[in-house]
Structure 1
Amino acid sequence: MELLAALLGLLGLLGLLPLALAYSSVSDATLEGLPGPGTDFDIHSGALLAPILRPRVSGTEGSTAVLQHFLDFFKKELPEWRLELQNSSSTTPTSNGKLVPFVNLIATRDPPNAGIGDVGRLALVAHYDSKLEPAGFIGAIDSAAPCAMLMHAARSVDKALTKKWAAMAAEGTDDLEEKKGLQILLLDGEEAFKSWTDTDSLYGARALAEEWESTFNPAASTYKTPLDSIDLFVLLDLLGSRGPTIPSYYKTTHWAYKHMAQAEHRLRDLGLFKSSPNHPSRVAKRANENKRTEPLFLTAAAQEDGGFFGGYIADDHLPFLARGVEVLHIIPSPFPHVWHDITDDGEHLDVETVEDWARLVTAFTAEWMDLEGFFDARTKQKTEVTGKSEL
């Protein structure tokens, strides 16, 4: 029995090996040259974030306007991405028997000429709906800011993906067995309308997971269904408050958590995290003071045995997790104090933290997609007095 258990454990580790080997680090120069958001996260006029900072309850005018914002962004700035809308409807405890529409946006960038069902994908996920109550609830951390972070990450790696795939084609290596794509899932209907239950929550996620499980790719495909094509489901939620602490929730994706944590360490060491007490702009104002302790977002990288408590937080990943999808859940514990409060608005966001998350998710995506050497060379200009960087 002990030998059998050991063999089963080894097989489980071998099953994770291809994913782990698929991840490759980028250089410090690439990290330093990653595109910055500029003013895109300005809460009043930022091109990415500001249009999302409004009530957007599923089935309302606000929801439709925010969905159109996403569509306009991809169509204008990322025309190579394939856009799909997955529609469903359901009654809710507050709809008086009427059906409420839920619309998920799926944006996909696959290698050129890839066959249907032949591409494994990194799925970056956030929900875009807001709570019905309290009246006027914005949901800046929950999850307007995460949606904007994903938009930034998609735009930041897009040209590098094009260059990588063009280089592979020129070298005749575009038929490599390892084909990786990128997917942005902006999900509707995460919030409960009345009180959280299995049926009053996760409306969009439940509908999409169910549909993808029962949609079959051509018989000879590498992946049986669109659900099988998800190599890793990275869910961002409740991000944008200062000083978050993110546990590692699932043992089977702890290796991915550690890679993201390593990227965070490197970005901090390079002075690229604006919320850091050791960012050059702050150090310049503290002459002759020792370096302060560096706080971390991802605090559990050293964790190996025990402490994995995934599943206790109900979120959009659950319908996918229940169907065997590997999940990296990026959500703070404890939750930020503004969670589900009327104060969860743009004014209570920490924009430096929002920008840091955007940079970290972009770095993780660049490494997952093996994009070292495919970013345009950029000159990082620093003002020594203020330490401010413009990319």
Structure 2
Amino acid sequence: MELLVALLGFLGLLPLVLAYSSVSDATLKGLPGPGADFDIHTGALLAPILRPRVSGTEGSRAVLQHFVDFFKQELPDWRLELQNSSSTTPTSKGQPVPFVNLIATRDPPNARVGDVGRLALVAHYDSKLEPAGFIGAIDSAAPCAMLMHAARTVDQALTKKWAAMAAEGTDDLEDKKGVQILLLDGEEAFNVWTDTDSLYGARALAEEWETTFNPAPSAYKTPLDSIDLFVLLDLLGSRGPTIPSFYTTTHWAYKHMAQIEQRLRDLALFKSSPNHPLKVAKREDKNKDKRKEPLFLNEATKENGGFYGGYIADDHLPFLARGVEVLHIIPSPFPHVWHDIMDDGEHLDMDTVEDWARLVTAFTAEWMDLEGFFDVRTKREVEVTGKSEL
């Protein structure tokens, strides 16, 4: 009986595993980096998020408007929704605090409501109340910018893929995959982290989606059911992170992301790598020998034991409790600037930030089967030499 249960569990995961396909080296090389858009002072994506943005404050509203403007102006094919809730907090003196989650969705054209399974890419955008003036660059301004970059990078490839499928008559139900960006409010505790003073936006959204039902003949019963994988980014942007694989049931997805990381390093596309050409050129000892790569996702080879589950409390927990598959991308140990006033733009390691943006983008491209739909033939600026190549 135990063998049968294990086999059934494996078969339940099989469709997701088989749905995943790799992108070529040429595609990885052609994926654009964020460049000046991640400048901490003037960058169009990152700079507007690097400010205090406690839930219910003007800073929070300004950052939310930044997200809305980005999608409306640059990605008009994405459907935007704002999910609103309110709650009193330990510091609100009995007054309700508003929490607003932004949901940006890109589904195949003409897909029926409830028939699309989605990759959910998630980060929280609120910042901590204390210490005063806290920015929260790794926590989680930089992850939000990474998701914006990923969405923008894959957008045209999605359009081309779905147009090609329609032309070939292959846009059947099995190919109905979409991608969703969830920018969640109210992750931080206002006083001391408890089950009720934390995860305000995530708890509200998971509860609402669990009880919102799609039309009867839909492939997915609720919006919650439609999440094939919930990828949560948090505390990313400090140098030298190590990311555990937390869940047995999503270890296969962790391994896929780890494989992409290794390929990006082998192709000398990871700017934080000690073997990136710029790093090698600057070595004072002029020793050009290849150095050991300090992997971000360093647990791809583990198979049994050591899966810590939900011991790190974060926005995934309300979704995990309702059966959603979670890939939690968070360093352990936490970066030294965690919940410290030094968690600002100046203390980001920008090479690491750009590497995460590239890695998350490539993972999204593979999940959405976008090989062949990126324009990799045009000239791109080579970050290493400043020259152009085909």
Letter paired with 1:260: M
Q: Which whole-Å deviations, capped at 9, do the CAs of 1:106-147 have from their partners, x for residues lacking one?
A: 000000000000000000000000000000000000000000
Asked whether 1:115 is paired with 2:117, we answer no
Letter paired with 1:128: Y
State the distance in 1 between where 2:270 and 2:4 align: 43
SS in structure 2 of the partner of residue 105 of structure 1: strand
Give the structure 2 partner of residue 360 of structure 1. Answer: 359
Deviation of residue 22 (structure 1)?
Answer: 0.7
Asked whether 1:138 is paired with 2:139, we answer no
1:34-113 superposed matches below 5 A: 34-113=31-110
Deviation of residue 319 (structure 1)?
Answer: 0.1
SS in structure 1 of the partner of residue 219 of structure 2: coil
Deviation of residue 390 (structure 1)?
Answer: 7.4
Letter paired with 1:358: A
Letter paired with 2:164: A
Give the structure 1 partner of residue 290 of structure 2. Answer: 291
Indicate the percent of aligned positions where both proteins have the same amino acid: 84
State the distance in 2 between where 1:93 and 1:172 align: 56
Asked whether 1:257 is paired with 2:251, we answer no
SS in structure 2 of the partner of residue 255 of structure 1: helix
Deviation of residue 280 (structure 1)?
Answer: 1.1
Give the structure 2 partner of residue 210 of structure 1. Answer: 207
Q: Which whole-Å deviations, capped at 9, do the CAs of 1:287-320 have from their partners, x for residues lacking one?
A: 4521111110000000100010021000000000
Structure 1: 5+ residue stretches without partners: none
SS in structure 2 of the partner of residue 233 of structure 1: strand
Give the structure 2 partner of residue 148 of structure 1. Answer: 145
Give the structure 1 partner of residue 320 of structure 2. Answer: 321
TM-score (norm 2): 0.97
- Say if 1:350 and 1:12 are closer, same or farther in 2 by CA, change over 3 A: same
- Say if 1:372 and 1:282 are closer, same or farther in 2 by CA, change over 3 A: same
Give the structure 2 partner of residue 22 of structure 1. Answer: 19
SS in structure 2 of the partner of residue 153 of structure 1: helix
CA contact 1:32–1:380 (8 Å) conserved in 2: no
CA contact 2:115–2:173 (8 Å) conserved in 1: no
SS in structure 1 of the partner of residue 265 of structure 2: helix
- Say if 1:390 and 1:200 are closer, same or farther in 2 by CA, change over 3 A: farther
Give the structure 1 partner of residue 218 of structure 2. Answer: 221
Structure 2: 5+ residue stretches without partners: none
SS in structure 2 of the partner of residue 39 of structure 1: helix
SS in structure 2 of the partner of residue 19 of structure 1: helix
Which moved further from structure 2: 22-31 or 171-180?
171-180
State the distance in 2 between where 1:39 and 1:138 align: 20
State the distance in 2 between where 1:233 and 1:382 align: 33
CA contact 2:78–2:106 (8 Å) conserved in 1: yes
State the distance in 1 between where 2:287 and 2:191 align: 55
State the distance in 2 between where 1:12 and 1:176 align: 23
Deviation of residue 388 (structure 1)?
Answer: 5.1
State the distance in 1 between where 2:72 and 2:192 align: 36
CA contact 2:138–2:348 (8 Å) conserved in 1: yes
State the distance in 2 between where 1:73 and 1:371 align: 23
- Say if 1:341 and 1:388 are closer, same or farther in 2 by CA, change over 3 A: farther
Give the structure 2 partner of residue 337 of structure 1. Answer: 336
State the distance in 2 between where 1:118 and 1:211 align: 19
State the distance in 2 between where 1:184 and 1:10 align: 33
State the distance in 2 between where 1:60 and 1:375 align: 40
Deviation of residue 380 (structure 1)?
Answer: 3.7
- Say if 1:77 and 1:389 are closer, same or farther in 2 by CA, change over 3 A: farther
Q: Which whole-Å deviations, capped at 9, do the CAs of 1:66-103 have from their partners, x for residues lacking one?
A: 00000000000000000000000000000000000000
- How well do the aligned residues superpose, as a CA RMSD in angstroms? 1.2
State the distance in 2 between where 1:176 and 1:193 align: 44
SS in structure 2 of the partner of residue 303 of structure 1: coil
State the distance in 1 between where 2:239 and 2:196 align: 32
Deviation of residue 38 (structure 1)?
Answer: 1.8
State the distance in 1 between where 2:82 and 2:388 align: 36
Deviation of residue 382 (structure 1)?
Answer: 3.5
Letter paired with 1:250: Y
Q: Which whole-Å deviations, capped at 9, do the CAs of 1:350-382 have from their partners, x for residues lacking one?
A: 011000000000000000000000001233444
State the distance in 2 between where 1:292 and 1:375 align: 32
- Say if 1:388 and 1:258 are closer, same or farther in 2 by CA, change over 3 A: farther
